[in-house]
Structure 1
Amino acid sequence: MSDTATLDAIRVDFDAPDNVPRDRIVDLGFAMGNVPNDLVDPYEPVGWLAGADVPRLLFNPPASHGLGAISGNRTGSWVVSHYEDIERVYSDNEHFSNAGTAEFQRLIGETFKSIPLAIDPPDHQKYRLFLMPYFSPARITRDLEPRIRRICVEMIEAVAEKGEVDMAWDFARVFPVRIFMGLMGFPDEKFTQFLDWEWDILHSGSLEKMQAALRGVLDYLRGFIAEKEREPDEHLVSAIVHGKVEGRALTEDEKIGTVWFLWLGGLDTVAATIAQMFRRLALQPELQARIRREPGIINSAVEEFLRTQPILSSARSAKLDFEWHGIQVRKGDTFQCLNPAGNFDPARFENPREFDPERKANRHFTFVGGVHICLGAHLARRELRVLLEEWFARIPEFRVKPGADTTVFPGLLSIRNLPLVWKAG
């Protein structure tokens, strides 16, 4: 089926704003990571949206259920699916705003901003400069990599002789969160509670559960901030609490806004990436064999796993009226950047559906782009590289446990369980 015919099949009737052409209204719910499949490349159903015959701006009606409905967007969103257009939305700060992004706290009446994610330039820069030293490659190498490697080796050796592990639930869900909690200075005993709160906020689809979790985590974080104000330590929350932005101490809203954003961003994305990465390795033993045979390609392989596993599609809003691709955009219109399409755009990537562990110039959008590129990107890359290095040094060829369900949500929901087996000893 051609791209045009596929587009015809998903067109819907919706009473859209009058600046939206009727032929651009399509149901793109399937592309938002909420529909599972069992493909080796679970993002394959979305890639065609970057095709040359697909209009550069599509319009997706508001969600009728789940997080999209709870967020309160009642008008729908423009969707950009081609690499060049996604790059513009992420980098054109004159026309596009990040204000309000991921501010779930509004659901319980909180008014503080998520810092630095929901702050536009020029103010964004001062918060970014404040936080960047804690996430720089040099700091990660010096201060964090020894801990990353120690935890990684400990967790692998705990399962090596068993010959099996649930890679999603018992490993991917745990490994990056242990690193994050050590970085922030959170106590280990909050691990399970944090993951429960995070699941209810991002995945429950229940307003009641989201609100309860938000109240729980924000009460805890405010108490933790107060504790660090009284008793400073060497960890990141303490550094934020006692730090200065442009020579002044942070306000209470800035403290909770920064700690909250780091908490929200530190619990889920790397876990989903690890689960999907090992699912692909288990389903493609030839890829396992190549990385095991050529460990020097691990860095570029990690980048290709990231390109082919875009966990999030980020949103922006129009800051003013302007014309784009023949469409009259209005101030306040929402734009969804469809990273699972942009990362497979044939205009940018040669043979985009091919997994090439040595791909060059692999500038993907999995960590978004522009000034809001993921603050923890260096940390995430290091965690994934160390994991592959230590795993292949200790675990022989592995596969999915016979009879196990290998379906995956191609997005943040990802995989809850992924039992892997290998020949122990």
Structure 2
Amino acid sequence: MSASTATAPHPKSLDDIRVDFPDAPSHVPKDRIVDLSWTMGGVPNDQVDPYEHMGWLAGQNIPRLLFNPPAAGGLGAIAGGSATGNWVVTHYEDIDRVYCDNEHFSNKGTAEFQRLIGETFPSIPLGLDPPEHTPYRMFLTQFLGPATITRVMEPMIREVLDEMIGEIEDKGEVDMAWDFARVFPVRIFMGMMGFPKEMFDDFLEWEWNILHSGSLEKMQWALRSVLDFLRGFIAEKEKNPDQFLTSSIVHGDIKGRKFTDDEKIGMVWFLWLGGLDTVAATIAQMFRRMALQPEIQTRLRDNPELINGAVEEFLRTQPILSSARRAIKDFEWHGVQVKAGDSFSCLNPAGNFDPARFENPREFDPTRKGNRHFTLVGGVHSCLGGHLARRELRLLLDEWFKRIPEFRAKPGSDTSVFPGLLSIRNLPLVWDVK
């Protein structure tokens, strides 16, 4: 297989990204084959809106199905991609169908990195389809719904915020990405699961190697490390139950049937994988946007009732992930033949800005109505931790604006961002101490 790369880092038309892919499946039209690797978060930029250069892919003149050759390295299939390439949907309406049409699209096997070391348990519930998926989702939702978060999690979130903001408010500066965004949501997650605080650095190192290293050897080392820890932790909770979520899973049941060992590790592993850096990336991009566009800060400080809507706009305008699905059966869509087993990628950084769905899509509008974006995915596999993520972001903004005056990027600092999960490694912010 040979596929050339895009000729410009921020292409503006299909002609800029069409590539030759001789090994494409025979049912894929040649004029739909394009290189979309530049939309996957690996190319940094310093725009105030770092996703702006992807929006044209949701335009009316763009074919409704594009095809992207496989990524180099061969690891993409583990995250739901394909070794033979994948269809890419970029329009809101089509993304919505892929996420919601369980008759034609499957999520089975998604994010099962554990297969790289020979593990066979599924990631639960993400890697399962309805109806198998449903009882696990219902079981976990009782611990992650709004009422439980208000009663159990919000006091912990406020306590952590009070401590962390208190440590920096009189200093007049912080590395918002490394010292705050990287730490805050992980502390909440670890507290929710009952994980020991001393595992913080190990967790982040393992997670980084699994999701971001691109090295099979490092991924396998990290996978063995985390799964050895989680199995040992599960065994300890079997003997010594407590009030935290890991213990609730270990001693839980569905209609009176206790969970198997594979079900226990499948759920705890899935929560571990999803709980460490998605909110961190969102926070870093959120504060970068406010530092570069201070009128957003001013508006939210003066109108705190807009914070809830602002969180949805930050999420919509910062779609850090594009999720994958797989076709279950042969069917025709938009005049193109789809085959069972074909992989699909939903390009959220295009769909979230589709002008057919969102009026003035590039405008940051905290009063936007019906803001049903795809940053937390959609359908039955919408983000299980979505309620918790929203609460963390809302409480963070509320407490931050009460205690920290207008902030800005530290002069001379690099404000470039990888528009995706990698996001921002360092973001030095400064403010005038009263």
Pairs within 5 Å for 1:13-412: 13-15=20-22, 16-65=24-73, 67-68=75-76, 73-412=82-421
2:11–2:17 contact (8 Å) kept in structure 1: no
1:311–1:412 contact (8 Å) kept in structure 2: yes
Deviation of residue 74 (structure 1)? 2.0
- What are the superposed Cα offsets for residues 216-245 of structure 1, whole Å, 9 maximum, x if unpaired? 000000000000000000000000000002
2:227–2:269 contact (8 Å) kept in structure 1: yes
Q: 1:165 is paired with a residue of what secondary structure?
A: strand
Which of 13, 24, 27 is matched with 1:6 structurally? Answer: 13
Distance 1:66 1:46, change over 3 A: farther
Q: Where does structure 2 lack aligned partners over 5 or more consecutive residues? A: 1-9
The separation in 1 between residues aligned to 2:199 and 2:402, in whole angstroms, is 31
The separation in 2 between residues aligned to 1:244 and 1:302, in whole angstroms, is 35
The separation in 2 between residues aligned to 1:235 and 1:409, in whole angstroms, is 34
2:116–2:220 contact (8 Å) kept in structure 1: yes
Deviation of residue 73 (structure 1)? 3.0
The separation in 2 between residues aligned to 1:104 and 1:81, in whole angstroms, is 26
Number of corresponding residues: 424
Deviation of residue 45 (structure 1)? 1.1
Q: 2:13 is paired with a residue of what secondary structure?
A: helix
Letter in 1 for 2:282: T
2:12–2:56 contact (8 Å) kept in structure 1: no
Deviation of residue 153 (structure 1)? 1.4
Deviation of residue 247 (structure 1)? 1.9
- TM-score normalised over the length of structure 1: 0.98
The separation in 2 between residues aligned to 1:158 and 1:238, in whole angstroms, is 32
The separation in 2 between residues aligned to 1:367 and 1:396, in whole angstroms, is 30
Deviates more, 1:60-69 or 1:217-226: 60-69
Task: Report whether the alignment pairs 1:413 with 2:422.
Answer: yes
Deviation of residue 35 (structure 1)? 0.9
1:79–1:337 contact (8 Å) kept in structure 2: yes
Distance 1:65 1:404, change over 3 A: farther
Instruction: Find the counterpart in structure 1 of residue 6 from structure 2.
Output: none
1:70–1:207 contact (8 Å) kept in structure 2: no
Deviation of residue 357 (structure 1)? 1.5
Aligned-pair identity (%): 74
The separation in 2 between residues aligned to 1:203 and 1:29, in whole angstroms, is 15
Letter in 1 for 2:66: L
1:70–1:205 contact (8 Å) kept in structure 2: no
- What are the superposed Cα offsets for residues 133-154 of structure 1, whole Å, 9 maximum, x if unpaired? 1001000001110110110111
RMSD: 1.5
The separation in 1 between residues aligned to 2:56 and 2:415, in whole angstroms, is 23
The separation in 1 between residues aligned to 2:147 and 2:39, in whole angstroms, is 37
1:86–1:342 contact (8 Å) kept in structure 2: yes
Deviation of residue 95 (structure 1)? 0.3
Letter in 2 for 1:347: A
- What are the superposed Cα offsets for residues 358-381 of structure 1, whole Å, 9 maximum, x if unpaired? 111100000100000000000000
Distance 1:321 1:66, change over 3 A: closer
Distance 1:269 1:258, change over 3 A: same
Deviation of residue 67 (structure 1)? 4.9
1:66–1:205 contact (8 Å) kept in structure 2: no
Distance 1:367 1:69, change over 3 A: closer
The separation in 2 between residues aligned to 1:109 and 1:323, in whole angstroms, is 36
Deviation of residue 66 (structure 1)? 8.1
1:317–1:333 contact (8 Å) kept in structure 2: yes
Deviation of residue 70 (structure 1)? 7.5
1:113–1:257 contact (8 Å) kept in structure 2: yes
The separation in 1 between residues aligned to 2:358 and 2:409, in whole angstroms, is 30
- What are the superposed Cα offsets for residues 303-330 of structure 1, whole Å, 9 maximum, x if unpaired? 0000000111000000011110111100
Letter in 1 for 2:215: S
The separation in 2 between residues aligned to 1:219 and 1:4, in whole angstroms, is 44
Task: Report whether the alignment pairs 1:423 with 2:432.
Answer: yes
- TM-score normalised over the length of structure 2: 0.96
2:78–2:111 contact (8 Å) kept in structure 1: no
Deviation of residue 5 (structure 1)? 6.9
Letter in 1 for 2:371: N
